[in-house]
Amino acid sequence: MTPVATPFFFYLLAATMIIGGILVITRKNAVHSAMALITTLLAQAGLYLMLYAPFVAGVQIILYAGGIMVLFLFVIMLINIERTMKERQFNKQWLVGIAAATALGGLFITVYTKGKSLFPAGGASYPEEQNTQAVAGLLFDRHTGMYMFPFEIASLLLLVAIIGAVVMAKKRI
Amino acid sequence: MGALVQYIQSYLSSDLTPGAAGNWFWATVYVLLVFVGLSVAVICMNWLERKILAHMQVRLGPMRVGPHGLLQPIADALKLLLKEDIIPAEADKIVFWVAPFIVVLAAFTVFVVVPFGPTHAITDMNIGILFMLGVSSLSVLGIVTAGWASNSHYPLIGALRSSAQMVSYEVAMGLAVVSVILMTSLNAEGTGTLSMIGIVRAQQAQGMWFIFKFFPLGLIAFAIFAVAMVAETNRAPFDLPEAESELTAGFHTEYSGFRWSLFFLAEYSAMIAVSSIAVTLWLGGWLRPFPNLLSGATWDLVFSLFPGLAFLFLAGMCFFNVARMPKHPLFKIQTIGLAGFGVVLGLIGVILFVPLVRDRVGDIFWFSAKVAAFMYLYIWYRGTFPRYRFDQLMKVGWKVLLPTGFAVLILTAATAFFEPSVEQWLRHIL
């Protein structure tokens, strides 16, 4: 079977992501921004697929595109769009903006020119069939499972956030 | 030319799905077949739903267009296509235009991994079930944007209800699915699978449909899924997003004509999609009933005759009704048409008896038959249950299904972990 991970698909997905990302910040209507963000996230799932990580791609679609963005839209719909349309979209902090852009651009150029020496060549690549098992191994396996603790800590953080939201939203529980 | 023919024929001898074999020709053929099959199934569902609901309510249902209203769906489709396509002046044009397509795309894309048989799937993905859940959860985006873009109150309320409902039932659904994926790992290697074909093969290898596995744990997980899938597809008794008596038509109030029919199409194909998830995960997918109890070549032959017999039965129904048709000259064309339909069905039935065809379509038949049972259940629910109130819906989702789902998941994991050692211990004692 011929590999699907051709440069054409990479550039297509990357271009979709960049255009989507630009639309997210330039659209005045928050719902349009959210839809552009969904496009970006879906294209990102495609990039994960190209890296032979189908499990991560599937989780990306379920969690971000299917779950979190629905809640985003849910909240945005309760906002008065008419008023947000009139608000100023960008602030005028040119100095900080230029500094941040230069730093990020410098980083990109460094990675692009010296990428080969910065990152280990090849690295660990899993065949497509074993991606799910590999993720599970990194989390749960007795010998290779080193990410169990960070994973649990992250979920605890989310739990704290949920409890905080409930406490703030409900005066009487 | 010869190379092309050879390319086409080369797939026939393999036992892979077209996607796995990387054969573009057959992949396209399968995509078209699934698309046409789905459209036909939606048309049939349209007619059946009206007829069955009508009979449940002691009415006749559509009777005018064609014999017993058989041509009613076609008349409806024509009406919808010719109807004016209205976009409200105050609507958000682009989003309003895109929303139905999101819903349809999400509903149809999931069929890429639905396994109609060991080789009869467009492709088999390593993340099959994850893909199905993920892509079908995208349809809520279409519903939400449709409700919002209409810029009207009823659709907005419908969309809000829909998003809240689908997000909350997805959680319980996911838990039920995870308990099945746990069951697939009960083999020598100890690794489970997310692939749809792999899940059915695991049931085949363990000699048991997962609905009966660890009784009653499998059954409870199935029940959770069966409730959640009705809520997920916005069907009665959970059809709050389009509750007619309160919200006129909910999120698609402002849609008309072709765009509305896209929502209709998406709703029914989403119903078929979730039913096929349930069939694949709990009811043995394409496997025929009683493979252990009634095994052997004779029973295999008997069960392989079922597809043909089903079509012959339908043909018999047609001829029975031809005989019952009024003898008035006005009904002459209808009578001839019905007889012709019966002949076509009978011919299909006869073709299905040919051994070469019989072996290829048996799995498709059993899969479709199981899905059809679910589709009948959907209609039955609609005819039986009154609509839930929104707070009741949320209560069922979060306070009943979710804790039960957690309990089933934990118990399944515990049983799967301890069962071998307990069995060993028992054998040791006895």
Test B160 with A74 for CB contact under 8 angstroms.
yes
What does the alpha-carbon distance between residue A21 and residue A15 come to, in Å, rounded to a whole number? 10
Residue A124 has pLDDT above 60, yes or no: no
DSSP secondary structure of B205-236: HHTS-TTSTTTTHHHHHHHHHHHHHHHHTT-T
Test B145 with A31 for CB contact under 8 angstroms.
yes
| pLDDT tens per residue across span B204-254 | 888 888 888 888 888 999 999 999 999 888 887 888 777 666 777 777 777
Residue A107 has pLDDT above 80, yes or no: yes
Phi-psi region of B290 (alpha: psi -120 to 50; beta: other; left: phi over 0): left
| pLDDT tens per residue across span B135-184 | 888 888 888 888 888 878 888 888 888 888 888 888 889 899 998 888 88
Residue B352 has pLDDT above 50, yes or no: yes
| pLDDT tens per residue across span B95-144 | 888 888 888 988 898 898 888 888 888 888 888 888 888 888 888 888 88
B249 — phi, psi (to 5°)?
-135, 15
* pLDDT (mean) for B260-275: 89
- Going from N- to C-terminal start, the domains of chain B cover 25-80, 83-288+398-417, 308-351
Better-predicted residue by pLDDT, A9 or A126 = A9
Residue B156 forms contact with A (CB below 8 Å): yes
pTM of structure:
0.87
- Of A31, A54, A66, nearest to B126 by CB-CB distance is A54
Residue A89 has pLDDT above 90, yes or no: no
* Coil, strand or helix at A128: helix
Look up residue B7 and give its two tokens.
């390319």
A56 — phi, psi (to 5°)?
-60, -40
Residue A135 forms contact with B (CB below 8 Å): no
Look up residue B195 and give its two tokens.
């692939």
Test B144 with A73 for CB contact under 8 angstroms.
yes
- Going from N- to C-terminal start, the domains of chain A cover 1-88, 127-173
| pLDDT tens per residue across span B337-348 | 889 999 999 999
Question: What pLDDT score does A81 carry?
Answer: 67
CATH topology of domain A1-88: Four Helix Bundle (Hemerythrin (Met), subunit A) (1.20.120)
Q: Searching chain B, which residue's CA lies closest to the CA of residue A31?
A: B145
